Amino acid sequence: MNQAEKERVAKLGKNWTPKGYIKKEIEAIRRQVGDKKVLLAMSGGVDSSVCAVLLHKAIGDQLTCVFVDHGCMRKNEAKEVKKVFKGKFGINLIQIDAEERFLAKAKGITDPELKRKCIGGEFVRVFEEEAKKLGKIEFLGQGTIYPDIVESGVGGHKAVKAHHNVGGLPKDIGFEGLVEPVKYLYKDEVRKVGRALGIPVEMVERQPFPGPGLAVRCLGELTKEKLDILRDADAIFREEMAKAKLDKKAQQFFAIMTNVKSVGVKNGARTFGYVIAIRAVSTSQFVKAGIVELPFKFVVSVAEKIATKVKGVNRVVWDITPKPPATIEWE
């Protein structure tokens, strides 16, 4: 057992349970925060969601969550987050619709690394502006999980792409300290704690969604037209995967806007539309990934559905490349 793992075990205790963890963490948060305030950037992902509910249970209205819609969210994502966290849990949640601002900033940028940096940088600026409006807030909440700590120590992953994590805000934006209530947990453990907290299964079992969102699945320049097409295609694919009960077989599955246009035919007339790709991978640690063998008939019917139902699309291809040599995301 290495030093980091020893520390993790010491922190959690050998026979820890989600219920016991919640109780201990609530006490720890109260001790750390006292009567001060916490601001949390919520992405709707599993880690920040669990973090939000834990913090809310511990300090109630001393917590404010900010959800920044950078225009690269999946279909209905902002609405679902609002319904669950504001509606069900009564969390103090501010949603910022910054789509126009992000797309204006990203206009003309086609290089994948520059796109990531543009979105990451703008995210920090929007978040900072919002924090200023809220007055004095002493702590920044973060949904850091254990692999994030290990990874940043090892570093190798970061050399491939400039990862932007919504939780990865710079520490110098004027907070007294960080509150990281899930920092010693692995992803599956975060999910267990989430279930014990009563977060809906659809949210707790969600597939990982990258910080820059659909930006890494929308090749070339980011435009509202392309992103809307991708959102619709992606929603159909995910819905069909769930209906066919194939969603449990893949850790990640999504659609990609290839930015390529091809000729097709609809209602007897020639079309010139976008090519959408679909991808479903199985992986344990995301460093390597295999292709999920989706039934061929299923793939054909999904392709037909996307190409006929989504305006602007007339062709669908299936990405069957493992990682390596490909990465999971296309950019």
SS3 call for 68: strand
Query: 252 or 314, CB closer to ligand XMP?
Result: 252
Token duo for residue 41: 């950037």
Closer residue to ligand XMP in complex, CB, 25/77: 77
Pick the binder of ligand XMP from 37, 161, 187, 249 (CB under 6 A).
161
Site for ligand XMP in 234-273 (CB under 6 A): 252
Q: Hey, which bits of 135-251 come out as E strands?
A: 139-141, 177-179
The binding track of 102-121 with respect to ligand XMP, each residue x by CB under 6 A or -, is --------------x-----
Residue 193 lies near ligand XMP (rule: CB under 6 A)? no
3-state secondary structure 255-293: EEEEEEEEEEEECCEEEEEEEEEEEEEECCCCCCEEECC
Q: Counting contacts by CB under 6 A, is residue 101 touching ligand XMP?
A: no
Per CB under 6 A, the list member of 1, 154, 159, 160 interacting with ligand XMP is 160
Write down the residue that tokens 């809310």 correspond to. Answer: 56
User: Residue type for 52, please?
Assistant: A
Q: How far apart are the first and last CA of the chain?
A: 35
How many residues bind ligand XMP, per CB under 6 A?
Answer: 17
Task: State yes or no: residue 186 binds ligand XMP (CB under 6 A).
Answer: no
- Does 328 contact ligand XMP by CB under 6 A? yes
Question: Per the structure block, which two tokens stand in for 270?
Answer: 């020639």
Toward ligand XMP, which CB reaches closer, 196 or 235? Answer: 235
Q: What is the DSSP letter of 217?
A: G
Paired with 178 in beta bridges are: 140
Please report, as ranges, the residues that interact with ligand XMP according to CB under 6 A: 116, 160-161, 163-165, 208, 210-212, 216, 252, 286, 323, 327-329
